[in-house]
Every structure is written in C-alpha cells, then in structure tokens.
Amino acid sequence: MNRIEIDRNFRGNVYITQGETVLCEYCNGFADLANEIQNSFETRFACASMGKTFVAVGILQLIERGKLSFSDTLGDILDIMAMVYGLSIILMEKTMYICKGVMMV
C-alpha cells in the first residue's frame, strides 16, 4: 500500500478479506483535511452516487428471483410512506434511471 500512497496520494481505507481471513487492512490520509483529523477505521465516508449502482443491482437480482417486477411500484413496497411522498406512481423500472439524486420519472 505504500506505493499507492506515495504514487497517487491515496486517502482512505482499504479492508480486504477472504472468508474470515483479513488479507489487507490499511488506513491513510485525513478524514478532515482542514482540521488535520486522521482517517481511522471508524471514519465514515460520504458515498455520494456510488450507492445507486448497488441499489440497481439489488433490484435487478430481486426481479431475477421473481420477488419484484419492473411493473411493481415503490408504493407496493413502502406502504403508507409511499402515499405520503407520492411514491406509489414510480415503477421499479424507473429506479434504474436514477441520476443526481433525483429520479427521472
């Protein structure tokens, strides 16, 4: 990991396991650069849009297993909260087009 740190100025945490065995555990850089607070394994990172891909994969896996369909709505899953926020009209198909934090309905 030292080469990555030096060559690319790596800031973040790396935790790689295989089964129960920890293969690599590395932490470097600042969690808060302005206040020079070091990263630790307890540091929480804002993932921004990275989660959208994982949500899409999860939805597609549920569709593949027959637990959801593209024609289901968010309201079918979220019950009363869906009615309050108008989610009952959003099809699962449309969740595949999430961008910039706003669904393109």
Averaged in consecutive runs of 10 residues, what is the pLDDT profile of the chain (105 residues)? 60 86 88 90 78 84 93 78 66 72 47
In a shared domain, residues 59 and 86: yes
79 inside domain:
yes
| Same-domain check for residues 65 and 98 | yes
What is the pLDDT at residue 24? 85
In a domain, 43, yes or no: no
Structure confidence at residue 35 (pLDDT): 92
Residue 58 sits in the same domain as residue 94: yes
Domain-located, residue 78 = yes
* Domain range enclosing 18: 2-38
Write out the H or E segment, with its range, that includes residue 16: strand 12-18
- Separation in Å, CA 23 to CA 9, 13, 16, 45, 60: 22, 13, 5, 22, 30
Q: Are residues 32 and 55 in the same domain?
A: no
What pLDDT does 99 receive?
Answer: 63
Please state the domain count of the chain.
2
